[in-house]
Structure 1
Amino acid sequence: MASIRSRNNKLLFDFTYLGIRCREQTALVDNRLNRSRLGALLSNIEAEIRLNRFVFRKYFPSSPRCPLFAEADAKVDQQLIDSLNTAPTKLLTNIPTFNIFAAEWLAENRIQWKLSHFKNVSMIFENYLMPEFGHLRLNDIARPQLMKFRAGIMSPKRRGTTTKVSNDWINHVMTPLRGILNEAALRYDFPSPFINIKPLKIDKTPIDPFSLGEVQFFLSHIRADFRNYYTVRFFTAMRTAEIDGLKWQYVDFSRQEILIQETLVDGNVETPKTSASYRAIKLSPPVLTALEQQKLITGNQTYVFCNGQGNPLDHRNVTKRVWYPALDRMGLKRRRPYQTRHTCATLWLAAGESPEWISRQLGHSTTKMLFEVYSRYVPNITRQDGSAFDRLIEHFQIESPGDANHE
């Protein structure tokens, strides 16, 4: 049986061809990555041997066994030439159209995707890819057509508007297109047209966090039934899907922690964004107080923040009906609700907390993103346990203006 073996810590191929055992040495050291690479190559060799398309010298041009297989190599070369000359399209007759293969590809990948991602990719296929490529055979799609398609996405779709689609969204559209064409090229043995088409550059959007004074003013004037909600958002750096999906079972008052174990995306319970997103968030005093007050209101429900029927909040509705009207009424600059996460991160940095600790609280696997996004907020002196942040907000108070200011 064909295998990848090691000799003197260098990997070698071990397979049988035309009844002859071939052990071909490589210069690659024995490690997991190199074994994976050679394993894929060995699979190709075995497939070509079964199909009588294997040319020994193509894989091992410096091997002393090349003369031994010269006649067999020449025979295979001639067979391929004859096949192409007599029936130039015969080898490609089994290649399906884009729309047929798309259904198969989506079904195969759905098992590894979150439901929200599957819905997003399906929407891209329906609105962008199927109208453009659905009727074409996969091998008929050429690189110039892909470049033209990408350029066309940039153009405004509605008459009378000059708004262009963002580079980030264009990359999102092109990603599944690249995936399906590369997979089809492997399965049906034709050159992938998605060659050297790099993602468009995405300009970094500067963060726009609130100052501590603005946070205090906002929380003092926001309607009472959302004060606890926004206190938690401002002082935990939770993502929208994380606070939407927060259940009481994940609030640990004894350890003063929130455990991030689930998220809620478009009404569907899903796993957190990344493996690092599974984390325990330390509760600062204002958050602990807000959750204790919220426990009296929704403690008999599943979700911490929910409507009268116990269903989780619809963040789009909250943003439209509560967040933006409140900012306008208070005379504060309009910002997306996600800026509450940036605000908390910058307050932690201002307090002198350790970047490593902050990264764990944010759900980042390393400090790389922290320094990239918040570089100008990083101080020189740091702490490591969250106590500096507690001291920063030690005298923080939320003053209720009374029911008159409630929406």
Structure 2
Amino acid sequence: MAKIRVRRETGTLFLDFQYRGARCREQTALPDTPGNRKVLESLAKRIEKAILKGNFTYAEFFPDSPRAKEGGDPGTAAPGSPAKGDHPTPTFAEFAELWVIESGPRWRAQYRTEVRKTLDAIILPGLGDKPLATIDRGHLLGFQAQIAKRRGRSGETVSARRINKVMGLVKTILNEGCDRHGLQSPARTLKRLKQGRTEVMPFSLEEVELLIARVREDYRPYLTVRLLTGLRTGEADGLQWEDIDFAAGVFRVERTHSRNGDGGTKTDGSRRTIPMVPQVRAAFETQRTRAVDGCPWVFHSQYGNPMDAVNFTNRIWYPLLRNLGLKQRPPYQMRHTAATLMLAAGENPEWVANVLGHSTTEMLFRVYSRFVPNLTRNDGLAFAGLVNGHLGKRAVEATASKSAPPTDNAAALAALQSLSPEQLATLLTLAKKAS
């Protein structure tokens, strides 16, 4: 998408747009005025339209530009580059720009920013100049291998999860582009890399108590709410006082907040109403006494600004874990902690899923089952107790009516049948010792 920008040194306007995977900036001598901006906006629309149709001629729009002379014009392509007639379909970069324009209104601001960064930094430099019709499975595998060699912030190579995320974006764009131009997309046969299992390191109830007791006092309500409700970081940071209903004893999750500003929830199902347990209610009431006039957010800085997730993580969270001697883990583990505590307490999984903002219970059993004793026992004792409790008496009565044993024997048999497997094992052990 072509943008109108201002050159700081001169105060004049210039056009900034993507063409064949490259960033193009064409200067003008026009000062920054509303009238000049309208002129350039009209020119920008014409450029976008020509690029999408595949008939953009660089020299036609910018005859004095060095790019027109160096091969930026498809009609005067540099040696080794494809000629205009060789690819009737747009390049990956050209279609990607159209796809972003069409899809952008459906995205949250944070996701829109993330897509833009991924396209500009990774995808377009690798695939942007290739026409859709020329991209094959080999290109995609080679591009995927290039991503795998990249280094992350910690200096290590990027994870399989990150690679799959980037390739998922490539697949979506390529599939849509090929469908529109009657092509068979090579991305549909590309398999995802195997990812490691989601690392879940919840805190125990004793550790939760310790975290709340030892955190800085001004962050104690924030930690209490996150540890006992399972709110995502953006959901907790986006809470506003209008979302808290003390009379009904509930609060609503309506939005998220990040460094990119306020945004919608992750999914429609993430908008939900959560009941307040006494500790959470007390945390909100304590936080209300610290409210800053004119500040809509529940959790905020001392100056009334919304929470900064990065600042909290680096200055509060990790130092707290080190001080307590607990294994380092990201703040998101507070969400896992709430989930495991709710399930271990015997709450209905559907209720837990609703509190966490999941549409189904599938993720609960897939991710948290090994942390909940009642969900992981495999000795059959629970089933044996259920069957014995409901069917034992009937079996005894049926036996008594057929064989008519003495009344005392029937009563003794019924008593034995009513015992749990553990009690029966203990009784047999005592009997052996006595004999």
Q: Is the 1:256–1:283 Cα contact (8 Å) retained in structure 2?
A: yes
Counterpart amino acid of residue 134 in structure 2: D
Match of 1:213 in 2: 206
In the TM superposition, residue 307 of structure 1 has moved relative to its aligned partner by 1.3
TM-score normalised per structure 1 = 0.68
1:276 aligns with 2:276: no
User: Measured at CA, do residues 149 and 208 of structure 1 come closer, stay the same or move farther in structure 2, by a change above 3 Å?
Assistant: same
Q: 2:190 aligns with which of 176, 197, 204?
A: 197
Match of 1:374 in 2: 368
User: Measured at CA, do residues 328 and 139 of structure 1 come closer, stay the same or move farther in structure 2, by a change above 3 Å?
Assistant: same
Task: State how far apart, in whole Å, the 2-side matches of 1:320 and 1:349 are.
Answer: 30
Q: Percent identity?
A: 41
Residue pairs, 1:44-59, within 5 angstroms:
none
Match of 2:134 in 1: 140
1:243-267 deviation per Cα after TM superposition (whole angstroms, max 9, x unaligned): 0100000011111111011111333
Secondary structure, aligned partner of 2:317: helix
Task: State how far apart, in whole Å, the 2-side matches of 1:103 and 1:142 are.
Answer: 20
Secondary structure, aligned partner of 1:94: coil
Q: 1:229 aligns with which of 213, 222, 230?
A: 222
Task: State how far apart, in whole Å, the 1-side matches of 2:211 and 2:193 are.
Answer: 38
Q: Is the 2:147–2:158 Cα contact (8 Å) retained in structure 1?
A: yes
Match of 1:240 in 2: 233
User: Measured at CA, do residues 160 and 233 of structure 1 come closer, stay the same or move farther in structure 2, by a change above 3 Å?
Assistant: closer
Counterpart amino acid of residue 266 in structure 1: R
1:131-175 deviation per Cα after TM superposition (whole angstroms, max 9, x unaligned): 1112222211121011111122112448995x2211111111111
1:306 aligns with 2:319: no
In the TM superposition, residue 119 of structure 1 has moved relative to its aligned partner by 1.1
Task: State how far apart, in whole Å, the 1-side matches of 2:153 and 2:235 are.
Answer: 38
Secondary structure, aligned partner of 1:273: coil
Deviates more, 1:289-298 or 1:327-336: 327-336
Match of 2:342 in 1: 348
TM-score normalised per structure 2 = 0.64
1:333 aligns with 2:311: no
Task: State how far apart, in whole Å, the 2-side matches of 1:255 and 1:380 are.
Answer: 32
Secondary structure, aligned partner of 1:297: coil
Deviates more, 1:245-254 or 1:331-340: 331-340
> What number of residue pairs does the alignment pair up?
292
Task: State how far apart, in whole Å, the 1-side matches of 2:341 and 2:153 are.
Answer: 44
User: Measured at CA, do residues 127 and 297 of structure 1 come closer, stay the same or move farther in structure 2, by a change above 3 Å?
Assistant: same
When the two chains are superposed, the root-mean-square deviation of aligned CA atoms in Å is 2.2
User: Measured at CA, do residues 185 and 160 of structure 1 come closer, stay the same or move farther in structure 2, by a change above 3 Å?
Assistant: closer
Counterpart amino acid of residue 342 in structure 1: H
In the TM superposition, residue 94 of structure 1 has moved relative to its aligned partner by 3.1
1:170-214 deviation per Cα after TM superposition (whole angstroms, max 9, x unaligned): 111111211221122122222222241022222112311111111
Task: State how far apart, in whole Å, the 2-side matches of 1:95 and 1:255 are.
Answer: 59
In the TM superposition, residue 380 of structure 1 has moved relative to its aligned partner by 3.9
Q: Is the 1:92–1:188 Cα contact (8 Å) retained in structure 2?
A: no
Stretches of structure 1 lacking an aligned partner (at least 5 in a row)? 1-88, 382-407
In the TM superposition, residue 302 of structure 1 has moved relative to its aligned partner by 0.3
Match of 1:106 in 2: 100
Counterpart amino acid of residue 182 in structure 1: N
